[in-house]
Amino acid sequence: MKRRRARLELVDDRPIRVHRTRFEEERNPPPIQPMTARQAEYLEALGSHPQVIVLGPAGTGKTYIAGTRAADLLRQRRVAKVVITRPNVPSGRSLGFFPGSLEEKIAPWVAPLTETMKERMGDGAFEIAVKAGDIEVVPFEVMRGRTFKNCLVILDEAQNT
């Protein structure tokens, strides 16, 4: 087994021992590249407008591009928080019947976004961001009255709102 070494860093002019972890190296994936002219327009709009609404058929990259962009902005600390929301349109029972916390109940509905963000950030960084509150998964039905400051909000599958 490979041994991890500690290094000394100065904090407030005092040396402290910092242990290396397997998450130490910074993930710096290349910028996302558009595959079509419409995706290029989408990426340009995300970079230059505060609100972007995207329409299109399934499989054109709408959710993937939004999740990748959110992960990059959060990793670069250009936004303080990412809020992922989606209307849960149940077929049968509502969320209240499922066991677990509110996050666990909505998880199946937002899996495409969270999987994209995990792929881009890394599983460990994603889990840390969720625990720290930097990534929030909230059902659309409880979004009313919230205030968003330095925040990126992704409303996926909005046709059901």
pLDDT at residue 24, as a whole number: 41
Task: Determine the pLDDT at residue 69.
Answer: 93
Alpha carbon distance 151, 100 (integer Å): 26
pLDDT at position 23: 41
Q: Which residues of the chain have pLDDT under 50?
A: 1-4, 18-25, 91-92
Q: What's the pTM value of the predicted model, to 2 decimals?
A: 0.71
Structure tokens at 83: 């809020």
- Mapping DSSP onto H, E and C, the string for 23-78 reads CCCCCCCCCCCCCCHHHHHHHHHHHHCCCCCCCCCCCCCHHHHHHHHHHHHHHCCC
Q: Which domains does the chain have, with CATH numbers?
A: 36-160 (3.40.50.300)
Residue 130's SS3 state is helix
- Tell me, what's the pLDDT at 94? 54
What residues contact residue 58 under an 8 Å CB cut-off, 6+ apart?
none
CA nearest to 85, candidates 152, 138, 157:
138
Q: Residue 132 corresponds to which amino acid?
A: A
